[in-house]
Amino acid sequence: MSALIVSPVLVPFVAAILCLLTRRSRRIQRVTNLVGAVALALCGGGLVALVTTSGVQSVQIGGWDAPVGVSFVVDRLSAGMVLITGIVALAIALYSVPMIDKRRELFGYYAMVNTLLMGVCGAFLTGDIFNLYVWFEVMLMSSFVLLALGGERPQLEGSIKYVTLNLLSSAIFLSAIGILYGLVGTLNMADLAVRVVQLDDSAKGMVSTLAVMFLVAFGIKAGVFPLFFWLPASYHTPPAPISALFAALLTKVGLYVILRVFTLIFVLDVPTTHTLILAAAGSSLIVGGLGAIAQNVLRRQLSFLIISSIGFALIGPGLMIGLGDRAYVDASAEVQAVVLLGLAGSIFYLFHTVLVKASLFILAGSIERWKGTDEIGRLGGLALERPWLSVMWAIAAFSLAGVPPLSGVFPKLALIGASFRGEHYGIAIVALVCSVLVLYAIARVWLEVFWKPSPDGEGGASERSRATASPAPAIVLSILIVAMGLGAGPVFSYCREAALGLLDPSDYIERVGVLDPGLDETEAQP
Amino acid sequence: MTLLMAMTIGVLYACSLYLLQRRNVVKLVFGLLILSHAANLLIFTASGLVRGRTTIIEAGETVLPVDTAPDPLPQALILTAIVISFGVTAFTIVLVHRVNAVVGTDDLDDMRATDSAGKAADA
């Protein structure tokens, strides 16, 4: 069982080493990458099965007990994220075969994809905040290489901005970890959760400052307003499979960590810190929606849609301000219901948006190959030329806009419903306005790219380029988007359990095993 | 001693943020380098400074005296962070070199191709 918990890190690690050893053979690397992705998805499925049957599980690396050694912890949220990561990895592995050119394949593309996946899964599973920093760096380093690989001018310019902003955010993260350790004396996240509530009042004020530092660091990585400028400047520059991988996973790791630390550790001053989260959510929604309307290049427009979807996913933790100074377990039933609904909605939205973003970026890459351009004005006529691609685009795009019965509508309903029930009318209205903006942006693309007659006639891309424009890898993602919508009941109850585990972390803390048996039981309650 | 360290760290942060805001990409690299030094020194100082002692258990003892010996964990953290920043800095220098070769400038203001792609389409 402990092998299963670390397997999402080990599988990509082994695959990366095999890809490096066989870097002269493109075929062996492709097969290794594909097998690795299938294995990762299976590991994710195994973890989901494990946590649904027997709850939170942890393993101590190196045999040292919890507060000293590094813990790996899997709960419903992290298991779900690993499963989704595996599915996206599989789609990208299939998509890379026709789309990635020979030079990139021979210069370590597959190895870097696997180290990226290793970093992402490590960040989902670790229970130690310094270890989280290390996984972030593993992920970032791979993403730097993937972004710059090929060395085309826009790629390199995008890389400079991406690298600088991400290193700045890592430095803020590292500084915050240093001060947090000086203050609390532990790095294990479960142990931190226990010990921050025992600090005296002056130290608690410092913890709030640290919370804001963490919010800035992860906000840069997640691409929330006003820290998102690197994202639309860099995400559309590399080849489509790399864009799709980044768009699906990287910002979502930042979001996952915000969900984790702002429910487990930084819950001392909820009215301040979580109001900031809610404000960031609202402004990301508006800026992302307006930005998406203003763009005329397909992948740049999708980049702004990422920002608005991050705004949506942040509403859930933002709604925790309803708790005020009380812990979740002490709050009234009505407040509990609102907070739980909001957070469950955020988790559902997180799962959904990973699939949708991967699907849209894959399809946008295929459109670019088919027509030879990605400027919206010069595209057209795809509904007749590529009917299946159009159907898949419609599924992903209208799921993002929140058209029932696709997956996007249910988390949106939960988030907006929770905002109204919690009487946070401002954010509810902003979310509704943003939905209209996103729908407008998507409808415009639908009319321009798919229904309008093609301005260049049938011409554009060469036959050779068209032959590689297969959108087939997005099929599995489209099916899942529809399935998540039709089977929203079981998915939502899973997300609800995950949210409950975040809001009442006593089980998480106990399963990590940081409590001395001699400690009083009441101290376990943060 | 702690005060001196705190002032040093503050000056390092200020220097690095100043350098990060220059337009020259070489200064950008120096800014990132100094930023990681500042963060490492911060970890070192924030966990408490102990002068003239090592984290070695004395002969005949079985445990480290908690109140007098320095904490070994921040040192381990800094070592990890140094290795990471070494790798990242090496990558950044190579990237800057490639950018200079491909774009032909070291001025960040001239690297606008990715931002202006949308605007060019507008015009």
CB-CB: which of B35, B42, B121 is closest to A296?
B121
User: Residue A237: which of A321, A295, A152 has the closest Cα?
Assistant: A152
pLDDT tens by residue, A110-154: 999 999 999 999 999 998 999 999 999 999 999 999 988 887 888
Domains and CATH numbers, chain B: 2-50+65-122 (1.10.287)
B12 interaction partners in chain A (CB closer than 8 Å)? none
pLDDT score, position A139: 92
Which amino acid would we find at residue A359? S
The C-alpha of A99 sits at a distance from chain B's nearest C-alpha, in angstroms, of 21
pLDDT tens by residue, A326-360: 778 888 888 888 889 999 999 999 999 999 999 99
pLDDT tens by residue, A54-105: 888 888 887 777 777 788 999 999 999 999 999 999 999 988 888 888 888 8
CB atoms within 10 A of CB A282: 23
Q: How far is CA A109 from CA A101, A454, B50, B87, in A?
A: 10, 34, 47, 19
Residue A57 phi/psi, 5-degree rounding, is: -125, 150
Determine which of A157, A188, A378 to mutate to test the interface with B (most B C-beta atoms within 10 Å).
A157
Look at residue A12 and tell me whether its pLDDT is greater than 90. Answer: yes
Spans of all domains in chain A: 269-503
Q: Read off the pLDDT band of A42 (50, 70, 90).
A: very high
User: Residue A370: which of A446, A449, A296, A444 has the closest Cα?
Assistant: A449
Q: What's the ipTM? A: 0.89
The C-alpha of B3 sits at a distance from chain A's nearest C-alpha, in angstroms, of 15
Q: The pTM is what?
A: 0.90
Tell me which residues of chain A, numbers 366 to 395, contact chain B at a CB-CB cutoff of 8 Å. 375-377
B44 interaction partners in chain A (CB closer than 8 Å)? 178
The pLDDT of A457-467, averaged and rounded, is: 66
Between CA A42 and CA A37 the distance in angstroms is 9
Question: CB A178 to CB B74 under 8 A?
Answer: yes
Please state the three-class secondary structure of chain B as a single string.
CHHHHHHHHHHHHHHHHHHHCCCEHHHHHHHHHHHHHHHHHHHHHHCCCCCCCCCCCCCCCCCCCCCCCCCHHHHHHHHHHHHHHHHHHHHHHHHHHHHHHHHCCCEHHHCCHHHHHHHHHHC
Q: What is the pLDDT along chain B (123 residues), one digit of tens a residue?
A: 889 999 999 999 999 999 988 888 889 899 999 999 999 999 988 887 887 777 777 787 777 776 777 888 888 899 999 999 999 999 999 988 888 888 877 777 777 766 554 444 333
Please state the three-class secondary structure of A433-477 as a single string.
HHHHHHHHHHHHHHHHHHHCCCCCCCCCCCHHHHHCCCCCCHHHH
Q: How far is CA A352 from CA A88, A247, A316, A396, in A?
A: 12, 13, 15, 10
